[in-house]
Structures are given as C-alpha cells and as structure tokens.
Amino acid sequence: MSTIYEDLSRIAKTEKNISFQKMTTLRVGGNAEYVVYPENEVALDAVMRIIRKNSYPFKVIGKGSNLLCGDSDYHGIVIRLDRFFTDFFFEGNDVTVQAGFSIIALAQEALKRGLSGLEFACGIPATVGGTVFMNAGAYKSSMSDLIEEVFVYRDGSLCWMSGSECEFSYRSSIFQK
C-alpha cells in the first residue's frame, strides 16, 4: 500500500514538512505537511484526484503574498502554481496567461507591447491566479476590469468561465467561496 506522499511524488515534485516561512512574503507560519508542484494541467488533475480519493485538505497558492499563516502546522497539501504554471502569450490586445505567472512581470510585458490597463498591478507582489482570486486592484482599477474569461479546474474538469460568472466585487470573487 502506497502512502499519499508516494502517490503525489509519482505525479509531481512533492516536498514534506515545508515551512510557510519559506513560501510566503510575510515569512511566518508553521509547516505544510506536503507541498506539490504540478507541471501541467494533467498533473494538476491527477493531484486533485488523489486529494479527493483520500479526502485530504488542500490549499492552492502562488507566491504566497497576502497570506498570513498561523504557527500551527497545516495537515494537508499545498499546491504551488508559481513554478510551472507561468506561460503567457499575447494576441493583439489580448493576453492569455497561466495562474502562476507574476502579475508584475505581466504588467511589464504588456507595457513592452504598448498595452495599457495593468499599470495598477506594477507593485503587487503576487501571481495572476492570486490577483484573480481576490480581485486585486489599486488606483481605482482591479482585475475584474480586465478579465473576459478564466480557465478553471472545476468539479473535476477544466472549463472556461466568463468574467461575469466570477462574481467579482471589491477584493472578492466566486473563487473565495
């Protein structure tokens, strides 16, 4: 009989007992039992299947900014997207970007292409996924002003959600529910 660590390790780079101090910008918190770095959507789906099969608690994070973690250990799996989910491409005035990409780097890439709208994000030390999750913003602008669609893992499958389906409001989205 394999352990959950062995199952996760067959699918993605997996670490045990990693301190949240190493994973968050505030540098506080206890240890996460497992930290997993899926390389692509197939690996993410496999990780989620293991989590569901074992009824294991989990959290998904990017750079760990805006996270205040308690000193107690977290008995669960932390899925990190900032290592491999970092692809992006521009097509005209539109960009498609994965959740683990830095929002600051994305703002810089847009600027290089003469595109505006992400200037407010230049000082937010987060990933695109985190900024969508919390509808981050500054200077009277926010992510909801820019998002047309979001590609999500939902109910065991990948699908597109329109910006209106995301239920954005001040520093909030459907993803927090």
CA 40-155-102 angle, to 5 degrees, is: 40
For residue 146, what are its two tokens? Answer: 């820019």
Q: 8: phi > 0 → left, psi -120 to 50 → alpha, else beta; which?
A: alpha
CB 132 within 8 A of CB 101: no
CB 34 within 8 A of CB 16: yes
**Angstrom distances, CA of residue 74 to CA of 33, 64, 137, 150:** 6, 15, 29, 29
Position 10 scores a pLDDT of: 97
Position 136 scores a pLDDT of: 95
The model carries a pTM of 0.91
For residue 163, what are its two tokens? Answer: 């910006």
Position 1 scores a pLDDT of: 63
Task: Give the residue among 31, 43, 78, 44 at the shortest CA–CA distance from 58.
Answer: 78
> In a structure prediction context, what are the per-residue pLDDT tens digits for the chain, which is 177 residues long?
679 999 999 999 999 999 999 999 899 999 999 999 999 999 999 999 999 999 999 999 988 888 899 999 999 999 999 999 999 999 999 999 999 999 999 999 999 999 999 999 999 999 999 999 999 999 999 999 999 999 999 988 999 999 999 999 999 999 998
- C-alpha 103/C-alpha 162 separation (Å) is 20
- C-alpha 158/C-alpha 43 separation (Å) is 12
